[in-house]
Structure 1
Amino acid sequence: MALSVKGKIDQILEPQSGVSRAGKEWKKQDFVIETDEQFPRKVCFTLFGDKVDMVSDIAQGQEVEVSFNLESREYNGRWFTNATAWKIDQVSEDNNLPEPPPEFRMEDVPPEPDDNAANDLPF
């Protein structure tokens, strides 16, 4: 299930790493965003492997949109849910504003019509 949510970076937690039972090295990093809803919610996301590098370009308080997969799994009769991020886009604060028109300059004013040019009309 692929989802996305926007919010501000609340925390970037310390990276973790280790070796699995199969002998493979792993690394992960969690980060928390706070949504911009009427009742803000904090959501913790996890990055795995090479995706950990995505948080190096973001800072606390920055507005982002996180694309993630939501997955649950059972362990010893209990269910655990992970929000695994796979993309983080930085959101500019003026993203919703229209682009302003170009500034007016005196060179933009067309020249006054010449009286002789008015007599050259073909009709």
Structure 2
Amino acid sequence: MELQGKIKKIDETKTFGNNGFRKREMVVTTEEQYPQHILVEFIQDKCDLLNNYQVGQPVKIGINLRGREWVSPQGETKYFNSIQGWRIENLQPNSSQGNTPPPPAADQFEPASDFNEEDHDDLPF
């Protein structure tokens, strides 16, 4: 599944337990008639995917929905859902994310001086 929107918040990576479990949360605001603020968590090595992103950036995130069951000491069963991100992609053109700038407009090229309409080309159309 995918989620698109603008980054509203990115938390720092938090480490839990003796095994060093890592988790980093972010909030993405969808851009629709009724915008939603969706909490997405990245775990373990996926935490580092957020290092080059900032608040306000439009992104597309690959997500998985996760659910789990928990039984309290009193025997009451509860269910919890989470949204885990596994990929993130910048949707902002021409940012510092490595996107190339658009090609120059056609009128910025120098006209060909040796063009001949009669020359044969090998194009199939």
TM bucket normalised to smaller: 0.7 to 0.9
Higher helix share: 1
Q: Which protein has the larger Cα radius of gyration, Structure 1 or Structure 2? A: 1
Asked if the contact 2:3/2:62 (under 8 Å) is kept, the reply is yes
Gaps of 5+ in 1: 114-123
Q: TM-score, length-normalised on structure 1? A: 0.73
1:16 aligns with 2:2: no
Gaps of 5+ in 2: 72-76, 95-101, 117-125
Paired residue for 2:97? none
Identical amino acids, percent of aligned pairs: 26
Match of 1:44 among 5, 16, 39: 39
Asked if the contact 1:71/1:81 (under 8 Å) is kept, the reply is yes
CA distance, structure 1, for counterparts of residue 4 and residue 45 of structure 2 = 22
Matches within 5 A, 1:69-80: 69-76=64-71, 77-80=77-80
What CA RMSD, in Å, does the superposition of the two structures yield over aligned residues?
2.4
Q: TM-score, length-normalised on structure 2? A: 0.72
CA distance, structure 1, for counterparts of residue 111 and residue 69 of structure 2 = 69
CA distance, structure 2, for counterparts of residue 68 and residue 110 of structure 1 = 53
